[in-house]
Structure 1
Amino acid sequence: MKLNFSIIIPVYNRPNEIDELLKSLTKQDFSDTFEVLIIEDGSDNIAEEIVKGYQSKLNLKYFFKENSGAGASRNFGMQKATGNYFIILDSDVIVPESYLNEVKKALEKNFTDAFGGPDAAHTSFTDLQKAINYSMTSVLTTGGIRGKKQAVGKFQPRSFNLGMSATAFKKTQGFSKMKNGEDIDLTFRLWENGFETQLIESAFVYHKRRSTIPQFFKQTFGFGTARPILNKKYPQTAKLTYWFPSLFIIGFDFSIILAIFGFNLFLLFYGVYFIAIFLNSLFQNKSIIVAFLSIITSLTQFLGYGLGFLESKFFNKKD
């Protein structure tokens, strides 16, 4: 099958991010034609003028629709696309020059109806963005499940860097109405319908993520609330490991209380863990500031996800 790519990018009040992403798409070392669809999801600060600046450089289509969330906007884009294989990107990513070539090579070698790619921190990112990227991708925090083949079994693509065939979209109808965890929900429905997924390690993107600690907390809290809903909807996918962030936070609180009464051993374990994060991040990022921030972002990630998971699990939070 000849692959014809349609790149779908939902955007909400982030015109500057779209500028960076589109600029990176103009630099693709890719000989085949591809189309790019920008789906403006009811933004107040629209990206239309920026998009117009790339009309002569890309096969570009721009749509403005009422606000309905990222999942529905991605579905809207796939409905409007003319290609036979869709690539979903978040507006806050930058793609390397080789991205589309890597996707094409991998799919021609081992075709699957869906794929996901990892993310990395660009050298231009702020120290905090690099620390957040570390926390979301490190084997010490997430087990490396977001982009390492040896760390995963059956890979679950994430919507910031996800591909899906037109056939799979037609069968599954794309993303559900879930506000959080909609990409994982889609993966489970792809599997239920007999479609395979794969991780394409070489098809990575530079992902800026949230730029402040409160925004990062809110994002991870949302991730946490989604998991019990997904466990209930797909009970065969539930794992004990999903409890780990909540248990980590509870244990950390108890260790502080015990330390007040002179029992320091448990708090020492956490201290060793945070030192390991510092050293590992320092080795990877070559920056003491990023290494120190990695401790803060990792704790924020555990706190956000853990609290979100507990609220959703025990207070029946609806998505």
Structure 2
Amino acid sequence: MKYTIIVPVYNRTNEVAELLQSAEQLNYNRDNFEILFVDDGSSDELGKFIHSYRSESNLAIRYIYQENTGPAEARNNGMANSSGDYFLFLDSDCLLPPQWLNKIDSALAEHQYDAFGGPDTFHDSFSPLLKAVNYSMTSFIGTGGIRGNKNSFERFYPRSFNMGISKNIYKNIGGMRLRYYGEDTDFSARIYEAGYKVGLIPEAFVYHKRRTSLPRFFKQITRIGMSRIVIGKLHKHMLKPVHLLPAFLILGLLFLFVLTILIPAIFSWFWIPTFFGFLLICLLAFYQSYKMYQNIKISFLSIIALNIQVFGYGYGLLKGIWKFKIKKTALENL
């Protein structure tokens, strides 16, 4: 067995059904890979669905159950029970293009990566909201290209929505050590620090549905912002001023608001340039999104998603600084 695809799942049976339907279309030898679902204490009868599922293309599917301890521990459990020489991590809300494993195969043959990852993108069937969230999460002004863009402002760190490692890495450095806050980024950093060869495979993308509502998206982004502070405590070089820009933006706006109350005459000096700067960024987001999707509705939603991402991430950074820097919450149980 060359690959074990490890998918942690918590109450997402509907997503698993869609993921399996896309996996049926993989044009790759069925003897060379398996799909291992790790049930993190679901209550929606995931196990019953998996055991009753009949693959139309002879997919090798396995299922294990654990008490609810989080996605990182589910991935660790999956690695401990895998048969493959490589472990491939997917989120349950991903769909696979038919060539996904072939692209990984070709890149490994050419580059001999020890660890690797690919980008995430949208599928044509996604709703306008999901496409807007995809724009926000993959655009340079949204994330700086860190999720699989060749033009990223920093080194590529594979993320667990589309990530692979060799079995030797797991044997030598163990599994993920954080439960919820940046567990995959910390894992990738440890892989780099251990001297392994890590690479981006741009062609090995997945379709990522992500969150299905704006409030859930805000909650997810807030957690990501908090995780950046955790990662910075564990790996000093991974927390730079550029990562803190959304937090500086929030603090700057609060400062301007208070200053304007105290000195109303300065309103035009600061708020008018701030408004036009904000408007320019929104217009740029609209243009980029429209160029990508050719859809006005999605372009307007992209502006909303981008603002939720920036302010949610900034709020998460500030929350993380308070929790992990000021209150000094221990990281061992995260």
- TM-score, with length taken from structure 2: 0.90
Question: Whole-Å Cα distance in 2 between the matches of residues 222 and 232 of structure 1?
Answer: 16
Alignment of 1:194-233 (within 5 A): 194-233=195-234
Question: Whole-Å Cα distance in 2 between the matches of residues 155 and 245 of structure 1?
Answer: 21
> For residue 40 of structure 2, what is the aligned residue in structure 1?
41
> For residue 75 of structure 2, what is the aligned residue in structure 1?
74
* Structure 1 position 252, deviation (Å): 4.6
Preserved CA contact (<8 Å) 1:256 1:267: no
Structure 2 residue identity aligned to 1:46: E
Question: Whole-Å Cα distance in 2 between the matches of residues 143 and 154 of structure 1?
Answer: 11
- TM-score, with length taken from structure 1: 0.94
Question: Whole-Å Cα distance in 2 between the matches of residues 97 and 276 of structure 1?
Answer: 33
Q: CA RMSD in A?
A: 1.9
Are 2:25 and 1:27 aligned?
yes
* Aligned residue-pair number: 317
> For residue 176 of structure 1, what is the aligned residue in structure 2?
177
Question: Whole-Å Cα distance in 2 between the matches of residues 253 and 124 of structure 1?
Answer: 40
* Structure 1 position 83, deviation (Å): 0.7
Alignment of 1:288-307 (within 5 A): 288-307=296-315
> For residue 288 of structure 2, what is the aligned residue in structure 1?
280
* Structure 1 position 176, deviation (Å): 1.1
Question: Whole-Å Cα distance in 2 between the matches of residues 99 and 20 of structure 1?
Answer: 16
* Structure 1 position 154, deviation (Å): 2.7
Preserved CA contact (<8 Å) 1:54 1:60: no
* DSSP 3-state at the match of 2:42: coil
Question: Whole-Å Cα distance in 1 between the matches of residues 139 and 23 of structure 2?
Answer: 27
Q: Deviations over 1:225-280 (max 9, x none)?
A: 11112111111332111111112333455667769833411211111111111111
Question: Whole-Å Cα distance in 1 between the matches of residues 190 and 144 of structure 2?
Answer: 24
* Structure 1 position 177, deviation (Å): 2.7
Are 2:246 and 1:248 aligned?
no
1:262 to 239, 261, 268: 268
Question: Whole-Å Cα distance in 2 between the matches of residues 248 and 276 of structure 1?
Answer: 18
Structure 1 residue identity aligned to 2:37: I
Question: Whole-Å Cα distance in 1 between the matches of residues 141 and 85 of structure 2?
Answer: 38
> For residue 53 of structure 2, what is the aligned residue in structure 1?
53
Rg bigger for which structure? 2
Question: Whole-Å Cα distance in 2 between the matches of residues 229 and 177 of structure 1?
Answer: 9
Are 2:192 and 1:191 aligned?
yes
Question: Whole-Å Cα distance in 2 between the matches of residues 250 and 281 of structure 1?
Answer: 28
In structure 2, list runs of 5 or more residues that go unmatched.
Answer: none
* Structure 1 position 90, deviation (Å): 0.2
Structure 2 residue identity aligned to 1:27: Q
Structure 2 residue identity aligned to 1:29: N
Preserved CA contact (<8 Å) 2:158 2:184: yes
* Structure 1 position 192, deviation (Å): 1.7
* DSSP 3-state at the match of 1:145: coil
Q: Deviations over 1:169-227 (max 9, x none)?
A: 11121111331200110011111211121110000000000011110111011011111
* DSSP 3-state at the match of 1:135: helix
* Structure 1 position 9, deviation (Å): 0.6
**Percent of paired sites with the same residue:** 39
> Would the alpha carbon gap of residues 89 and 301 (structure 1) be closer, same or farther in structure 2, given more than 3 Å must change?
same
> Would the alpha carbon gap of residues 253 and 289 (structure 1) be closer, same or farther in structure 2, given more than 3 Å must change?
farther
Preserved CA contact (<8 Å) 2:34 2:59: yes
Question: Whole-Å Cα distance in 1 between the matches of residues 92 and 21 of structure 2?
Answer: 12
Question: Whole-Å Cα distance in 1 between the matches of residues 244 and 10 of structure 2?
Answer: 32
> For residue 271 of structure 1, what is the aligned residue in structure 2?
279
* Structure 1 position 33, deviation (Å): 2.2
Question: Whole-Å Cα distance in 1 between the matches of residues 139 and 211 of structure 2?
Answer: 17
Structure 1 residue identity aligned to 2:283: I
Structure 2 residue identity aligned to 1:122: H
Structure 2 residue identity aligned to 1:40: D
